[in-house]
Chain A
Amino acid sequence: MQCQDIRSQLSAYLEGELGGAPRRVVEDHLRECVRCQGELVLLQRTIALLRGLDELEVPARLADAVEARIAPRKTFGWGRLASWLFFPIHVKLPIQAVALLLVSLGAVYLYRSAPELSQAPQPPVATESAPRGEVVPSTAAGRADRLDRPTRQEAAEKSSGQREPQKERKVPEQEDAAARALRKSAPESAVSAKPAEEAEALRERDIGARVLRKEAPAGATIAAPLQDVMLETSDPARAIVRITEIVSALEGKVEVKEERHLILMIPAKAYSHFLTALKDSGYAVSTPTESPAAPSPEGTVTFSLRLTP
């Protein structure tokens, strides 16, 4: 074996890692090769010098310095968590306050932008004249929403496909008169009036509803939006006089909003009598429904009457 091969194993030989034949080969070579013996000695001295380098003593301040630098970092566990959440306070607290404010503003924005969130759920009002099982939303918005979208229960039933046929037939029956009026007013108006007039009529109806709501006695609630009863007449003044007479006889009230627009409040039971009396007086009357809107808890029904040429 060449000297170079032997020297490449000197480190392992000194570590005692060579055993058996490899070790004997190196030792046989070392007995005969003076130069390799010299290299082995130099390597031993090198290792001995390294191992002879004594350890330095650690500066006394080192541990204290480490402790001092760790101290602000607190501890692990809950203390560390609290530190992570709140320290440094002058940075973390303003960030958390701003975050809380943004979340609050977002919640308010969502509440205002989503109608369904701004409507407090109210129990349905059951009335003596309402059809059995009819559910009356408390506001026009709620009613419109109910018409536009099925309830969660309906949606669930539709999705499950287990809805009973009887219930399906009942849905249109449960839509009260005012809701149907809202839905049907567009096509009906399209026949008899221009779109601009229709929009104006809807706006006025809304105004009338708000006026009546404002003027309603304390504790009274408007159970349904106003619906228009249309009465054809070429003499509004006379018609108003007649209408007032009839309403007075029925112990109702008349409020003249405009020359051709009245707000009437009569006992719900007298609604059909009112219509009959108008027809008997020679007026052509058209109503959105056969029955009045859902009456108030006091048993009265409020509706709008428009005098058309």
Chain B
Amino acid sequence: MRATIAGRVEGGGNFSAAELSNSVEMATRAVISGGRDPDHDLVDRVLGGDREAFASLLTRHQKKVFNFMYRMVGERGVAEDLTQEVFLKVYEALPGFRKAATFSTWLYRIAHNHCLNALKGRGREIAVSALTKEPAHGNPVTAFVDPSASPEERLEQQELQAVVQMKLAELTPEHRAVLVLRDIQGLSYDEIAVTLELEGGTVRSRLHRARMELKEKLRSYLEL
């Protein structure tokens, strides 16, 4: 998948707006499909004292929370700590979960708020760490580069991934969050609005500004 997208980018971005839109919507529907949130049953079981049910919730959602945190803070270790703290908060706050939204959206809201608080508390440390991080071998992102690519392509992909992460870190947390939620994690506008506690129109305008800002930061790399 990554090689395909990279090829398209290098080839001039030859995918249609409809294709992009459909793929994003598919991801969105995957998050909220089914009408009834299957996580609500797990929540009920957790509240009834079933610790295994919480382990199930953790298993189902830890990956997206961890990746959200990683894209927000740019440090794997920090992301891991924050993810742990988010699930501890979720466990404590679970009796107050009223099931008005999906568990996933509620979880994202807790993760987002916790992340912003953490960035305020140790923002300078995280920002400096992310900005100064060299796009060198050992960056976790490089572990997911397409192994079938040639060594030159792999090096380019590794460096480009690292650059994207660096440029993301230069955005404000608010712009970074909306990009991560929409373009990386594939949430719908409605889910993002609930997560960020914003109006739908505000989500759209913020997303546009964030994309345009990141585009300008990546311009020199994108025009190669």
Interface residues of A (CB under 8 A from B): 7-8, 10-17, 39, 41-59, 62-63, 65-67, 69-70, 73, 75-80
Contacts and interface: CB of A to CB of B under 8 A. Distances in A.
Given A66-B88, A75-B49, A47 B211 contact: yes
Contacts of B100: none
Interface residues of B, number: 64
B208 interface: yes
7 contacts: A14-B20, A39-B215, A44-B15, A44-B17, A51-B183, A53-B161, A62-B62
Contact of A76 (B6, B49, B58): B49
A58 B144 CA distance: 13
B160 interface: yes
Contact of A65 (B2, B22, B84, B207): B84
B140 interface: yes
B141 interface: yes
A67 B15 contact: no
Contacts of A59: 66, 80
Nearest to B27: A51
B95 interface: yes
B103 to A, nearest CB: 16
B88 A69 contact: yes
A70 B212 contact: no
Contacts of A44: 13, 15, 17, 20
Prevailing SS type, chain B contact patch:
helix
Contacts of B9: 45, 48-49, 52
Contact of B144 (A13, A48, A54, A70): A54
A13 B17 CA distance: 7
A45 B214 CA distance: 11
Contact of A11 (B87, B212, B219): B212
B63 A49 contact: no
Given A44-B15, A50-B164, A53-B161, 14 more contacts: A11-B208, A42-B215, A46-B211, A46-B215, A47-B20, A48-B20, A51-B184, A52-B6, A52-B9, A58-B62, A66-B87, A73-B92, A75-B49, A77-B47
B99 interface: no
B32 interface: no
A78 B47 CA distance: 11
B184 A56 contact: no
Contacts of A39: 215
B46 to A, nearest CB: 7
A270 to B, nearest CB: 81
